[in-house]
Structure 1
Amino acid sequence: MENINTALLLMVVGMVTVFCILLIVINLGKGLILLVNKYAPEEVAADKKGAQGPTPIPGNVLAVINAAVSVVTHGKGKVAKVEKVK
């Protein structure tokens, strides 16, 4: 019985230790993110296209996308907007 008590105590101490270390890692990660966002903000890239709008997507591609959404959602889904990702 003494071995079981020792094993349970060791398990609880180990789990509490891991939990505390994970909390420390999470808080340090959040702090690092805040520091980086404060002192090294993301650079804004200039738009190379200028005043040009997005290139239109061909009608046959839109038809395929609409058909795929209709099949997957059993006719309940609707395509509101299609954009090409850079």
Structure 2
Amino acid sequence: MIVNFIDYLRDRLETVKYCCYGGIALIVIWSLTVDTSHAHTWAEKMIPGFWSLFGLGSCAVVIMVARVLGRSGIMTREDYYDN
């Protein structure tokens, strides 16, 4: 079932890209309209879309840490269980 869904999305890659771009545009527009007069920090008040940028940066850090941990010993060679 999931394979069929992935194939369906691959067949309509342009539509998927436009939907993602539209979603990003909506998030940016929404974050620009949020009232920042009661912001808790300087960054929230002065940087438009701060939490969106913070989330993007956090995801990038999590991915990099996972790659480092994976290559440092979690991943094993392919014939590990054959011996």
Classify the TM-score, shorter chain.
Answer: 0.3 to 0.5
Higher gyration radius (CA): 1
TM-score (norm 1): 0.36
Q: Give the TM-score normalised by the residue count of structure 2.
A: 0.37
